[in-house]
């Protein structure tokens, strides 16, 4: 486990426990057993982090459902034994993270299945629309669900977007990016800009808020110009379960969905003593 992740988990615990769980301090000092169970069907994610949370407070944990496992209501995900104070003071932090990650993995998996039913070549990617401090967990949950991470941070790859173009014209930015970097991505909103980006050596062209029919036209033109094989085409903006199959059938290589991590519905989990 990354040191960064461990540090984050410790910060999560400190945030919730504060100077001490004053309710659990009322309990006798005794060893208890507990289990985390699922209340609904879905894909489990984050079990190693859940284990680390309890283990950091002296508890013993046995994982029964690994990351990526499909669970049904009342399935036991892990068992925990240790001091009552430790288990109960860690309960909410562990459940919150497991629930969030499992919810992301479940929704990702559902979209991936829909995409793969349309075409095997298209991949689903997460975006940077994550809650501050949770990106490493959110992105890992997407991967567990069958998606891809895309950029983790702004220093990984140049991505020229609309607000950059409000400061500097596309042609100039493309020229600068090509001189300095081997790979870069460009967000475009029309056919002409897509062709310009492809001719300028962009690695990925993001077609933002462009309907599938127009995407088909753009891809057809790039094929006619002999530019399609050089680049990956990404579709983004307003894509969800209701229309993702249409975007996949349009022939894109990548579909990015901010809702995977920005509009999270957690999987219903519970800890029982």
Domains of the chain, by residue range, sit at 3-108+265-272, 112-262
Q: Does domain 3-108+265-272 have CATH number 3.90.1170.20?
A: yes
In the block, tokens 């562990």 appear at 94
Q: Convert the chain into a string of H (helix), E (strand) and C (coil).
A: CCHHHHHHHHHHHHHHHCCCCCCHHHCCCCEEEEEEEECCCEECCCHHHHHHHHHCCCCEEEECCCCCCEECCCCEEEEEEEEHHHHHHHHHHHHHHHHHHHHHHHHHHHHHHHHHHHCCCCEEECCCCCCCCCHHHHHHHHHHCCCECCCCCCCCCEEECHHHHCCCCHHHHHHHHHHHCCCEEEEECCHHHHHHHHHCCCCEEEEECCCHHHHHHHHHHHHHCCCHHHCEEEEECCCCCCCHHHHHHCCCCEEECCHHHHCCCCCCEEEEC
Average pLDDT, the chain: 95
The model carries a pTM of: 0.93
- The reported pLDDT for the residue numbered 54 is 98
What's residue 151's pLDDT? 85
Q: Is the pLDDT of residue 198 over 90?
A: yes
Mean pLDDT for the stretch of residues 88-98? 97
Q: Distance (Å, rounded) from C-alpha 78 to C-alpha 127?
A: 30
Topology classification of domain 112-262 = TIM Barrel (3.20.20)
Please write the tens of the pLDDT for every residue from 10-47.
999 999 999 999 999 999 999 999 999 999 999 999 99
How far is 104 from 24, CA to CA, in rounded Å? Answer: 31
The residue-averaged pLDDT of 190-217 equals 94
Beta strands 31-38; 269-272: pairing state: antiparallel
By the 8 A CB rule, do 39 and 269 touch?
A: yes
Assign 142 a pLDDT band (cuts: 50, 70, 90).
very high
Q: What is the pLDDT of residue 2?
A: 83
- Over the stretch 170-189, which tens digit does the pLDDT of each residue have? 999 999 999 999 899 999 98
pLDDT over threshold 90, residue 150: no
CB 241 within 8 A of CB 7: no
């Amino acid at each position: 486990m990354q040191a960064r992740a461990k540090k984050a988990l410790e910060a999560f615990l400190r945030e919730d426990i504060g100077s001490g769980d004053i309710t659990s301090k009322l309990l006798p000092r005794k060893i208890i057993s507990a289990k985390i169970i699922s209340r609904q069907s879905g894909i489990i994610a984050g079990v190693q982090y859940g284990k680390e949370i309890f283990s950091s407070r002296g508890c013993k944990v046995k994982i029964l459902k690994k990351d990526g496992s499909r669970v049904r209501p009342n399935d036991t995900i892990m068992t925990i034994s240790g001091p009552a104070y430790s288990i109960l003071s860690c309960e909410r932090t562990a459940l919150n993270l497991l629930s969030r990650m499992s919810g992301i993995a479940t929704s990702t998996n559902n979209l991936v299945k829909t995409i793969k039913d349309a075409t095997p070549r298209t991949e689903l990617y997460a975006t940077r629309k994550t809650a501050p401090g949770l990106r490493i967990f959110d992105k890992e949950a997407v991967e567990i669900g069958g998606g891809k991470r895309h950029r983790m941070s702004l220093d990984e790859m140049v991505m020229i977007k609309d607000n950059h173009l409000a400061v500097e014209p596309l042609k100039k930015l493309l020229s600068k990016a090509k001189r300095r970097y081997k790979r870069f991505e460009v967000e475009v909103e029309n056919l002409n800009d897509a062709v310009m980006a492809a001719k300028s050596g962009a690695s990925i062209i993001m077609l933002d808020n462009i309907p599938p029919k127009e995407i088909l036209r753009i891809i057809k033109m790039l094929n006619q110009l002999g530019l399609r094989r050089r680049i990956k085409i990404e579709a983004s903006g307003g894509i969800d379960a209701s229309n993702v199959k249409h975007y996949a059938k349009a022939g894109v290589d990548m579909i990015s969905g901010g809702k995977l991590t920005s509009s999270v519905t957690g999987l219903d989990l519970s800890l029982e003593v």
